[in-house]
Each structure stands twice: as structure tokens, then as C-alpha cells.
Structure 1
Amino acid sequence: MPSTVSPKIPHYEPAPATKESLDYADLTIIDLSKAKTAEGRAELAVQARDAMTNQGFFYVVNHGLTPAENARIFDIADVPFAQVSDDEKRQYAGNIKATGSYQGYKLRQYWHIEAGVRDQLEHYNINRDVTKKPHPKALRPLIPEIEAWARFNHTEVLHPILRLLAMGMELPEDAFVNQHGYDAAGETYVRYMKYYPRSEEEEEKTKNVWLKGHTDFGTITILWSQPVAALQILSPDGKWRWIRHIGNALVINAGDAMEFLSGGFYKATIHRVVQPPSDQRGYTRVGAFYFAMTDDNVKLIPHAESPVFRTHPIKRRCDDADAPTMEQWRRGRTSAYGQTDLKKTDNGVEEEVINGVVVKHYN
């Protein structure tokens, strides 16, 4: 990541790692430093393919940033929450439902969770083109660092992962990369997020679920690992398992758009956020993410030319003629999330229809 002059900001001290014995998911660890050679990419492509087709999540290590640079990321991530007043946050709140965009703040209690309980998390979202929207005063000196971090995520993490996933489908290495231009029109964004502790009454009403089981709507989500245990994935055996924190590692998962593009070969992964274990419940949980999407004009249809479909049938969620563009899909998903009445099915899964496609929520 390019070096910049770093303005002084308060240090965010994360919670100590939990000492509780949790049922952790057994995830593949991808050493991204190996992706610099053709031989290394060939080896990693098999690991990434198997991880994405079996679990849908994997870790990335040796991505190029140091632990000190990682700590700086989380110092910056806390600024839009700890250093900005509630009045100023409201001035920069996104008009999410109307615009289908998360740019700006999503304030606390915007989403309905369950039984009348609303969320206790806020996040601040910045398009990779950091000039698209003005930013709160405390963040302005940090924008060059944020832009450098966005570019690092895009070119040094996202693109190498997309090459591995393309190779896993026996496609040209840049098949997915060419659909994810850094300077193209699109909504790929940095997200800083902060969860706050909830009341016992809220925990009881929601059965300790902070964010229902869902899939992300983009292609790839890059989560910078942090120590508060709360993220769980729905494992292939139907059990919810915790994601373990690994220092200076990334947690990678696929979203809806990757499922569309891969013809279901890589399935969007169901995950949720729950109350942390008892030894971490008094702490806030700060997160740093990079949510990747294709260019807005990409139509979300499978790469049917992939040789893997000779043995794996293409699984479409809609006919190709009816497939949404990335812009249509992310606007529809963004506008609806946490704002619509969901239809409950017999197995307890809740459903809604967006752009003619059934979207499921799991609790």
C-alpha cells in the first residue's frame, strides 16, 4: 500500500480474544504471496476452488500489509463513529432505500431484526472513488489513506482472488478481473462498521441474533479479521459455526453476483452475526470491509463457456434473458434489506423477491 503522511488519530484498542471454547468452522488458509508465480497460482486455484465450493469462506494470509499497517486500518475504521457527533452523522446519512446505495452512514436502528427489535450497529460506506461524496470533517485528512487502502484491496487482494476463482473454473485468468475495473462505473466500496452491545431484552427477543443469516449481494467480500467472535457461517451439514480470528488475516466469501456469474459453481455463502461469547460482551466490535461488485453494466449471467459445466450443470436463479445487471441487483438488494416484510416459509426461512429472483433470509 502506498505510504502516506499519517495524521495522528486515537488508537482503537480491540477486545482481547475470547477464551471460550467455540465450534469453529475449519476453513482453508490461502497464502496469497504464492499468487505471484504461475506455479503458485495453479496450486492456490485448487485450494480456492475447493474452499468456495465446499465452505464458501476462506482465509487469506501474507497479503502484503504488516501488523502495524493492519492496526492503523482499525484506528481509521473507528474514526467515523468515535470522532463524529450524532448530529454530523445524520448530515452524512445515506438515503439508502430511495437510492439503492449505502454511500454515507447507515445509522443505528435502521434495520428491523426480529420481534420489533432494530439493529444496534452503524456503518460508514465510501465508494472506491472517494471523491463521489463529501465526508465528515474528522475523516477528511484520512481520505488519501482510505483511497490507498481501497486500491490495495482491489488490485492486490480482489484481483488475485478473482484470477484463482477463474482458474478454478478453467476460464482465462482475467475472466472475472475484466468485469471488475477499478475506474469503471460501479459501487464497490469500503465499509467501516461498529456493533454496540444490546440489552438483555433485545437479546431475548431476537434469540441472540444481531444480523439474520443472509448472503452478500456482490461478488467477493473481503473482511479484515478482528477479535470479537460474532460471525457465523451455515456449514454444509446445516450447523452454524463460528469464524475464528487470525491476526492480520482476511476472511473471504462469495456473494450473489459470483453465484450468478459462476452458474452456481461458487455458491453465495449464508452467514450471520450473533451475540459474542460472554467474555467479550462488554466490547464494541469494529469492522473493516471491502465489498466488491462487478462494473454496474455487467449482466449477471453465467460464464457458460467454462469447461466445468461439462460435468456440473449450470444452476441459474433466473433465465439469462431476465438476469439483472449488477446495478439493478445491488440497488434492489440494498433498498430492500431490513425494510421489507418477509414471507415466512414452513421451514422457518424468510423470503422476498427482488428483480424476479427469490432472496432468502435465515434465522
Structure 2
Amino acid sequence: MPVPVPTLGSFEYVAETKEHLPWADLVTLDLSLYATPKGRKELAKTLITAVREKGFFYVRNFGVSQEAVNRQFAIGKAFYDLPLEEKLRYVPDNFDKGGFNGYMPAGRIIIDPNTGLKDKVEVYNIPKFNGDFTHDHPAPVSRNLPEIEQFVRDLQTKVVEPLLTLVAIALELPEDYLRKIHQYEVKSEACNHHRSSSDRAHRYLYPRYMKCSKHPMSDNERLSSWVPGHTDLGSFTLLFRQPVAGLQIQDPVTEEWKWVKPQNATLTVNTCDALQLLTGGYVQSTIHRVMPPPKDQQHVDRLGLLYFSRPHNDVKLATIQDSPVLQREGYVKNPFEASGNPVPTMEEWTFAKQKWQRTGYLGPQRASKEVLPGVSREGLYLNRPWMGLRLGHRLPPFFCFY
């Protein structure tokens, strides 16, 4: 049965930058090949190489129309056009304890202690539509909830589940092995997210929208990241983007920062902490950040649309012991197991990391703050042999901004 479609204002995309930037060399997965066993085998081989070497890749032919994507961008724009006072009504009651469903205003994190420059991130998160969460939203979201739900469920079935299947095939596991711990109807903090960013604000909504508004930036803002280097919490992050440059990834081997080029009719996807932990470091959770756009794009609004997939809340983030590949390659312990600390569930990891980001990371004593009981920021620094990378290389703490 078709979902009713309320009238929305239009959303206009912008021209690509003409600047020559150092672009990351990322592979593209064509999900039209997924329909056959041979195609899935080929895709699994391509995907596992991508998520081990870079942690980022593109996806095309994923079965969601550009019209549906454009509608989500328009919903995000309508939300961010609301007065700040209206958006502040939707700050979660448990914000200081790591809660994230609802609105999170900008300025939560000092990204340059020398100048006092704060983050440019606003967030509005919409949780799952599976009955476990209440849905009390401002008008631009609430009147479009059926459409948002359909969009989210399409991303789950047409993108996330195929990607989980391909990772399982690459690990020589049953095809449904990872899908079983990522079922949409089971409670988890998986969500869709709109993000918008500007020199004043960098905003998010589940689906997340990113907006860069047309105001001039100070010298400090031009030189500072809007979202500092971080990793994401869950299994996969799906990112729809305007053709505005801003996203950068840090090469896991060379540590060089490379720009991620927006591409037409594709999703940008990255693997996250949960998959890295579940595979003992075999899969990469790559550090990435958001920088101000090139000069020829700083005059336009910039929006992005994201969806975050995570395992069920009660899943222990211990290394999978059933994979012949992980056993052969020696990826049998993740940082928690290697350090003798308790292995958190997905729910514990989500709220602990969120809370730490908002409290421990900000304070003058942040270096000694704990992420989880018994696990400090330093406790997550490990040599990288367990990740299959060169000896002596230091692993930055798992860290995510929302």
C-alpha cells in the first residue's frame, strides 16, 4: 500500500568542486550482482578487501530511488529550518548519561582548546520503528514518519542485510550469521540520522542531515575540523551526500588524510567499532572527520543523510570464534579480550562511549577518564599486530561523535 506523501519544499543539489583534492581510492560495490551465488561470492571478496584496507567503500544499484532520497533531504531541511527554541524541546532527558534519541545541540565539544572553538554538530536522532521506542517529534518529522519508516526499512533490507551477508560469506560463516544479530524488530540502537553542518552548526538527524550554510567562516574555523577524527559505534554507517567535499578518512597504514569524493547515485559506507570488535580487528573501523568544504563550495548549504546499523543491544562484542578465516589468520581476541577487561554488550558500549564523549573527552582530566569500568582512554591504545598492520603502530581510542 503506498505511503501518503505530504507536500515538502524542494531541495536543490549543488555543483561539484573544481579544486584538485587528494581523493581516497575506494572500491564500488554493485549490488545488482547480489542476486546470484556467483555474484555474492565476487562481491564478498571485493568487500572484505575494502573493509580491511580502507574501511570505506561505495555502493550502487541498491534499490532505493533517488526520489526517495531527495524526499529525505527535504525533510531534513524542513527540520533545520525550525527555530532553535522549538528544536531544544526535543533534547533527550538522559542526554548526560549518553542518551541520543532526539535533538542534541551544537557546542558540546571543544575541538581547539587554544581558541575555545567548539564543535559544529547538531543532531536529531530517530530510533527504530519496532515498538521499543516512543516517537515524539517536531512537525516536519512527525507528519512524515510513515515515509521515514519505509525509507529506513528499505535501507535495512536492501543495503544492510546484503552487506552483512557478504561479510559472513567472506568469513566462511553461514550467510545469515550476522543478519541474525542485526534483526530490525529486535531492540538495538540502530537508527537513521539527518545531519546538517555550517560554520555555525553541524547538524544531525536519524536519518542524519549535514548542512553548511552560507555565512563566512573565521580563520580558526577554516583550519579546524567540524567533526574531529573519530570512529563510529556500530556495524555499518550509510551516508547519502550532496556533491560537497568535506568527509576525510585517515589511511590506516600511512595515516594520511584523504578526501572522500561524493559520487552520483551511490552510497558511501563505512564499517564501524562493532564489526571491528566482533572480528578481532580483521575488519577496519576507520578514523574519519568532517572538514570545511573547498572555497568554491563554502557559499552553499550542505546536507548529508545517514543511517546507522548496530547489533542487538544484548550482543556481547566478543570476537567471533566460529569463523575459519579468523581462526586461520589469528584474529581471535579484540582489545577488551586482549587486555582482560570485561567484554561489553552493544548497549553498554553505545551508552558508555556516548557518555564518555560528552564528559570525559571534554574535561581537563580527560586523559584519565574511563570509557567503561576498568577501561580508560589509554586502555584502548594497543599495538596493531592484532589488526594485521605494522608493528608499533598505535591504535587511537574507539571514538564516535553523535
Do both share a fold (TM > 0.5)? yes
Contact 2:22–2:258 at 8 Å: present in 1 too? yes
Deviations 1:157-211 (A, max 9, x none): 101000001111111111111001111111101111110125314326xx32111
Number of the residue aligned with 2:193: 191
Distance (whole Å) between structure 1 residues aligned to residue 2 and residue 237 of structure 2: 25
Contact 1:112–1:119 at 8 Å: present in 2 too? yes
SS of 1:78's equivalent in the other structure is helix
Number of the residue aligned with 2:169: 167
Q: Aligned residue pairs: how many? A: 353
Distance (whole Å) between structure 2 residues aligned to residue 250 and residue 341 of structure 1: 31
Please provide the CA RMSD for this pair: 2.2
Number of the residue aligned with 1:329: 349
Contact 2:75–2:140 at 8 Å: present in 1 too? no
Q: Which is further off, 161-170 or 279-288?
A: 279-288
SS of 2:166's equivalent in the other structure is helix
Structure 1 residue 351, shift from structure 2 partner: 8.6
Contact 1:197–1:282 at 8 Å: present in 2 too? no
Number of the residue aligned with 2:135: 133
Number of the residue aligned with 2:90: 92
Number of the residue aligned with 1:28: 27
Contact 2:229–2:289 at 8 Å: present in 1 too? yes
SS of 2:25's equivalent in the other structure is coil
The 5 Å alignment of 1:313-352 reads: 313-314=330-331, 315-319=333-337, 322-341=342-361
Deviations 1:29-78 (A, max 9, x none): 00012112211111100000000011111100000122222222211222
SS of 1:41's equivalent in the other structure is helix
Number of the residue aligned with 2:207: none
Structure 1 residue 342, shift from structure 2 partner: 6.5
- The one-letter amino acid of 2:44's match is A
SS of 1:331's equivalent in the other structure is helix
SS of 2:69's equivalent in the other structure is helix
**Cα gap change, 1:361 to 1:102, in 2 (>3 Å):** closer
Structure 1 residue 301, shift from structure 2 partner: 0.6
Equivalent residue for 1:267, pick from 267, 273, 284: 284
Number of the residue aligned with 2:304: 287
Distance (whole Å) between structure 2 residues aligned to residue 229 and residue 40 of structure 1: 32
Contact 2:273–2:398 at 8 Å: present in 1 too? no
Number of the residue aligned with 2:42: 43
State the TM-score, normalized to the length of structure 1: 0.91
State the TM-score, normalized to the length of structure 2: 0.83
- The one-letter amino acid of 1:113's match is I
- The one-letter amino acid of 1:212's match is P
**Cα gap change, 1:90 to 1:250, in 2 (>3 Å):** same
Unmatched tracts of structure 2, length 5 or more? 201-216, 381-396
Distance (whole Å) between structure 2 residues aligned to residue 201 and residue 279 of structure 1: 16
Q: Identity rate of aligned residues, in percent?
A: 33
Deviations 1:129-182 (A, max 9, x none): 275230002222100011111111111110100000111111111111100111
Deviations 1:268-291 (A, max 9, x none): 111111111111112232111111
SS of 2:329's equivalent in the other structure is coil
Contact 2:279–2:326 at 8 Å: present in 1 too? no
- The one-letter amino acid of 1:276's match is P
Distance (whole Å) between structure 2 residues aligned to residue 65 and residue 34 of structure 1: 16
Q: Which is further off, 193-202 or 45-54?
A: 193-202
Unmatched tracts of structure 1, length 5 or more? 345-349
SS of 2:70's equivalent in the other structure is helix
Distance (whole Å) between structure 2 residues aligned to residue 161 and residue 360 of structure 1: 22
Distance (whole Å) between structure 2 residues aligned to residue 43 and residue 253 of structure 1: 19
Distance (whole Å) between structure 2 residues aligned to residue 79 and residue 99 of structure 1: 29
Contact 2:14–2:243 at 8 Å: present in 1 too? yes
SS of 1:13's equivalent in the other structure is coil
- The one-letter amino acid of 2:68's match is E
- The one-letter amino acid of 2:86's match is E
Deviations 1:88-108 (A, max 9, x none): 101012245434221111112
Number of the residue aligned with 1:276: 293
SS of 2:5's equivalent in the other structure is coil
Contact 1:342–1:351 at 8 Å: present in 2 too? no
SS of 1:318's equivalent in the other structure is helix
The 5 Å alignment of 1:61-210 reads: 61-82=60-81, 84-95=82-93, 97-115=95-113, 116-129=116-129, 132-198=134-200, 199-203=217-221, 207-210=223-226
Structure 1 residue 21, shift from structure 2 partner: 0.7
